[in-house]
Amino acid sequence: MTSESLDRPSPNILVLATKFPSPIQPWLVNQLAQIERHGGEVTIVASRPEGETVPARVRELGLLGRTHYERASSAGDILGRVASLALPFSARGRRGRIGLRRLLDDRWRPDDLRGGVKGIARAGVLGLEYDLVHAHSLVLAYELRHAATVRRVPFVLTFHGQTPTGVPTLPPEKRARLFGDVDVALVNTNFAARQLESLGCPRDRVEILPQGIFLSDYPFRSRPRPDDGPVELLTVGRIQADKGLTYAIDAVTLLRQRGYDIRYTIVGGGPQEEELRRRVADSNLGDVVSLTGRVDDGVLRGLYRRSHIFVLPSVTNPLEDHTETQGVVLQEAQASGLIVAASRVGGIPECVEEGVSAFLFPDRDPEGIASVIASIIARPEMWRAWQERGRAWVEARFDADLIGDELWRLYGGLLAGHRAATGILPTGRVG
């Protein structure tokens, strides 16, 4: 990546996200915090928020006050947005009219009628002030790519992996148009890079930048294997089929049958939650396996502190469906002092030190999961070393400050090139 530093006004980054804020996307908030740490500013455009709880860091940074919701998917959404352009005294109406003038001045040509109407409905986005667009959704990036092309600013896309079955995605012809407009496409692992290339993105536009965590959020605590009491297993993530949680529950059944004293806590919500609860009941594991649903940050960090082994049993999926590309919860767990047992799928092997501070098993294999957990329990003399190596691994590769520095250098290189080509300066001031 470019490491060029810019002694000139600081950029305002327009961030496009499907959902904001979202309790299951802490990596995005961490990235926004890094932009501000470097003296930049952020403006967020999202389709909708997710959940009723606002993460603490979102409140601390005042991000809700800089978020604009531009949902324009249904006919009612589109008509409402178009009608708002006529409101004479509303901020949205004024922004929309500014954006519409910019569209027309550029002689913008939409791909089709519906796209044109949606572009007009979201004209208010072009009425915002920004110097670079950074999108976190393929669909939203495509629908709002003119926010970059019309304003002639750099366009960055972060690809987070294939979407699960049932989630809208882009057909090939729209992907080709989007990738033609993108300056840089960021991915978190080589596995994700290969996925993105398979969708048609040119390899020379792809950069690898992992998702980072704030280490201070996950204080390290070494803990021995308990001599009296259960070994605590923990999984954190969305409860859906690609997480492979049914196989982990079956592994717990095997371990209990073999006399291991363990407890298993699953944190998160999702479409498979009721199915898992039935499976736990049918397996007579009600006193062993606990499904907490979603919890706040304080409760989650308490679970990290008390648990011993972190289990991530994600499964491989067909190319067109979601497979784990990084698994940020792995870094949260290792930073906190847990020993990781995870499936050897997707980008997971790139994100841990197998056999040094983490241990991998085949996916969809309860016996394999049980064997790995049993082998960890059988080596109490190694626990402290595994825990300390895991923390050191995360500190060296997934510290949000280090990754934020890389992102800022990337922005700087793109903006320097833009300045050389256009002579246009950003709107703020560099710190």
Q: Please give the pLDDT value at position 2.
A: 38
Identify the burial level of 46 via C-beta atoms within 10 angstroms of its C-beta, where 0-12 means exposed, 13-18 middle and 19 or more buried: buried
Query: Does 121 or 47 have the greater pLDDT score?
Result: 47
The CATH code belonging to domain 215-397 is: 3.40.50.2000
| Cβ count near 222 (within 10 Å) | 12
The mean per-residue pLDDT over the stretch 331-343 comes to 98
Q: What is the end-to-end Cα distance of the chain in Å, rounded?
A: 21
Residue 33 — very low, low, confident or very high, per pLDDT cuts 50/70/90? very high
CATH architecture of 12-212+399-422: 3-Layer(aba) Sandwich (3.40)
Residue 92 — very low, low, confident or very high, per pLDDT cuts 50/70/90? low
With beta carbons less than 8 A apart as the criterion, state whether 235 and 265 touch. Answer: yes
| 215-397 has the same fold as 12-212+399-422 | yes
Is the pLDDT assigned to residue 80 strictly greater than 90?
no
User: What are the CA-CA distances from residue 181 to residues 122, 174, 177, 253, 416 (Å)?
Assistant: 19, 11, 7, 51, 18
The domain ranges of the chain are 12-212+399-422, 215-397
Q: Please give the pLDDT value at position 5.
A: 44
Measure the CA–CA gap between 345 and 313, rounded to whole angstroms: 9
Q: Please give the pLDDT value at position 102.
A: 80
The region of weakest confidence among 158-172, 210-224, 226-240, 378-392 is 158-172
* Residue 134 structure tokens: 């950074």
The mean per-residue pLDDT over the stretch 41-62 comes to 90
The region of weakest confidence among 202-211, 239-248, 313-322, 387-396 is 313-322
Mean of the per-residue pLDDT values for the chain?
88
The mean per-residue pLDDT over the stretch 3-30 comes to 80
Q: Please give the pLDDT value at position 129.
A: 92
Q: Which pTM was predicted?
A: 0.89
With beta carbons less than 8 A apart as the criterion, state whether 358 and 330 touch. Answer: yes
Query: Does 322 or 88 have the greater pLDDT score?
Result: 322
Rg for the chain, CA atoms, rounded: 23
Strand partners, 205: none
The mean per-residue pLDDT over the stretch 267-272 comes to 94
